[in-house]
């Protein structure tokens, strides 16, 4: 297990903002007009939100989609700042975007998922920002790779950026899913374990891809003690030029925030004893699980020896399909999700193959 990382970080907070969770960042997916920007910002500011977001340059999957108005829209962001006093934030994907944003007085930059996945692009942006004191938020890469995410954060921190935050926007998947981007909560949790002082901001808009589920994802982020939310908000979302289905009206955003339950970061003194007792029970059961896994792997080694003696291949697809199907059915009856059971038993199966491979005396790459 990788140990925690020590980065040179400063609090990701701003004048006039409290330390209460959640820190909320809101605004439209794309800047479409000065009127749209200012009117949306006024209604968001009325909710007490201090940071306004909007996409100026919109990297889209296909070239014929609306890709934003670019530098032409930067004065609209400045108008938001002048009219409401809000801090303004936008996405940058290359050096030109950084220069244009800094010249326009943008307060906060963020790096998008596609850019985070490219270390060359991140390094160019980091080099451009050397000596500049500006907060930067880094979205997770499109693929579920915590090391790539950490690498982008380290590059910016090495360039002298001290006010950093991570944005959890979910991960692309080729499998059928209820989400636009799978949340894969274990990845931002691992990032928080590795860099505990780094603020984690969840982006329910890009995780869900639609309005349904935004509250559920936002609540999960708060339950995990994440720092904040970045939520796409538009005065007329049904007519939005990009990602219309996932944007809220400012009034709907206010209702969502009103429904959120904010948990205590630590147990109160009165409940601490009960919590510790339950944690002791968890530890005991974890120890039992480890003992059972040890026994299972020893049996796998015996199977590997038998296969070696009788010249039988390690991988038995029908047997594996049968195991997975049966365990999924049992897990369902025990209140465990299919996703969880598949993840656990695929990992167990992989480790069993590793043990059998050692016994068989062949390289795993040959399977």
Q: State pLDDT tens for residues 217-252.
A: 999 999 999 999 999 999 999 999 999 999 999 999
The secondary structure of residue 284, as a DSSP letter, is H
218 neighbors 259 (Cβ within 8 angstroms): no
Picking from 259, 280, 296, the residue at the C-terminal end of a domain is 259
**Confidence category of residue 268, pLDDT binned at 50, 70, 90:** low
Is 5 contained in some domain?
Answer: no
Q: 53 and 143 share a domain?
A: yes
| Under 8 Å between Cβ of 233 and 40 | yes
Flag whether 6 is in a domain: no
Dump pLDDT digits (tens) for 121-180.
999 999 999 999 999 999 999 999 999 999 999 999 999 999 999 999 999 988 888 999
Tell me, yes or no, whether 58 lies in a domain: yes
8-state DSSP, 85: -
pLDDT at 15 over 90: no
User: What percent of the chain clears pLDDT 70, i.e. is strictly above it?
Assistant: 96
CATH number reported for the structural domain that contains residue 277 in this entry: 1.20.59.10
Tell which of 225, 259, 293 closes a domain: 259
Q: Which domain holds residue 329?
A: 271-366
Last-in-domain residue among 197, 225, 259? 259
Distance CA 270, CA 52 (A): 40
Report how far residue 56's alpha carbon sits from residue 58's, in angstroms, rounded to the nearest whole number.
6
pLDDT in tens, 23-68: 999 999 999 999 999 999 999 999 999 999 999 998 767 777 788 8
User: What's the burial of 176, exposed, middle or buried (CB within 10 Å: 0-12/13-18/19+)?
Assistant: exposed
Three-class SS state of 89? strand
Looking at the structure of the chain, the number of domains it has is 2
Residue 267 pLDDT grade (very low, low, confident, very high; cuts 50, 70, 90):
low
The answer to whether residue 11 sits within a structural domain is no
Residue 367, pLDDT score: 40
Contact (CB, 8 A) for 190 and 3: no
245, 209 Cβ separation under 8 angstroms: yes
Q: Could you tell me if 128 and 46 lie in one domain?
A: yes
Residue 264: inside a domain, yes or no? no
CB 78 within 8 A of CB 104: yes
Pair (88, 212) in one structural domain: yes
Residues 107, 42 share a domain = yes
Percent of the chain having pLDDT more than 90?
79
The most confident of 61-75, 87-101, 175-189, by mean pLDDT: 87-101
Residue 366 has pLDDT above 90, yes or no: no
10 within some domain: no
Based on the fold, state whether residues 161 and 137 are members of the same structural domain: yes
292-325 confidence digits (pLDDT tens) = 999 999 999 999 999 999 999 888 888 888 999 9
């Amino acid at each position: 297990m990788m140990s925690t990382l020590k980065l040179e970080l400063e609090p990701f907070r701003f004048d006039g903002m409290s330390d209460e969770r959640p820190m909320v960042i809101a605004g439209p997916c794309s800047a479409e007009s000065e009127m749209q920007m200012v009117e949306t910002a006024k209604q968001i500011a009325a909710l007490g939100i201090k940071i306004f977001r909007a996409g100026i340059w919109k990297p889209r999957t296909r070239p014929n989609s609306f890709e934003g108005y670019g530098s032409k829209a930067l004065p609209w962001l400045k108008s938001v700042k002048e009219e409401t006093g809000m801090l303004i934030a936008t996405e940058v994907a290359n050096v030109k975007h950084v220069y244009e944003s800094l010249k326009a007085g943008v307060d906060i930059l963020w790096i998008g998922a596609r850019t985070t996945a490219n270390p060359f692009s991140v390094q160019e942006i980091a080099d451009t920002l050397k000596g500049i004191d500006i907060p930067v938020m880094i979205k997770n890469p499109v693929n579920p790779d915590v090391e790539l995410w950490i690498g982008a954060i380290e590059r910016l921190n090495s360039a002298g950026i001290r006010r950093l935050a991570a944005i959890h926007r979910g991960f692309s998947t080729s499998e059928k899913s209820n989400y636009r981007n799978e949340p894969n909560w274990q990845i931002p949790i691992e990032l928080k374990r590795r860099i505990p002082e780094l603020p984690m901001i969840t982006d329910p808009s890009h995780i869900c891809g639609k309005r349904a589920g935004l509250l559920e994802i936002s609540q999960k982020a708060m339950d995990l003690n994440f720092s904040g939310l970045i939520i796409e908000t538009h005065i007329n979302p049904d007519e939005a030029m990009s990602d219309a289905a996932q944007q809220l009206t400012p009034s709907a955003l206010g209702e969502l925030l009103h429904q959120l339950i904010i948990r205590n970061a630590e147990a109160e003194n009165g409940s601490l004893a009960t919590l510790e007792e339950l944690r002791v029970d968890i530890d005991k059961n974890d120890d039992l699980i480890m003992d059972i896994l040890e026994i299972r792997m020893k049996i796998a080694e015996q199977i590997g020896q038998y296969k070696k003696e009788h010249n039988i291949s390690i991988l038995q697809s029908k047997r594996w399909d049968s195991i997975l199907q049966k365990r999924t059915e049992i897990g369902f009856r025990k209140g465990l999700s299919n996703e969880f059971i598949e993840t656990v038993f695929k990992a167990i199966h992989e480790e069993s193959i590793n043990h059998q491979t050692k016994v068989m005396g062949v390289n795993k790459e040959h399977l």
